[in-house]
Amino acid sequence: MLLIRCPYCEAERPELEFTYAGEAHIARPADPSALSDDEWRDFLFIRTNPRGRHFERWRHMHGCGRFFNAVRDTVTDKFAMTYKAGAPRPSDEEIALAASSVKEARP
């Protein structure tokens, strides 16, 4: 089972307590009525679906109840880092740093 670090609980908790909630950093259009049907379709349904690094939302459903964001590799299923909802998308350096500190923490 995966252990996922909740940035609110500041603890690694079992995957069982979490639910996946789709791709992160998708901003709702400021003026929805100005969108064409195609743009509205893209907002609602079209996702990047990458092979590799993915920014995604998770919810600590059976814990603190909060939504947060995670960086996960869709090939290896490894979490590089998690961060609070509302925080900006982390840079490559921040992700590399977070991933290496996780490795050090584990014996």
Q: Which is nearer to Zn ion, 9 or 98 (CB)?
A: 9
Residues 22 to 61 in contact with Zn ion, rule: CB under 5 A = 60
Q: Which is nearer to other proteins, 17 or 94 (CB)?
A: 17
Q: Which of 12, 23, 43, 63 binds Zn ion (CB under 5 A)?
A: 63
Classify each residue of 46-66 as buried b or exposed e, where b means 16 or more C-beta atoms within 10 Å of its C-beta.
Answer: eeeeeeeebbbbbbbeebeee
Q: What secondary structure letter does DSSP report for 8?
A: T
Give residues in contact with other proteins (CB under 8 A).
Answer: 1, 3, 8-17, 62-66
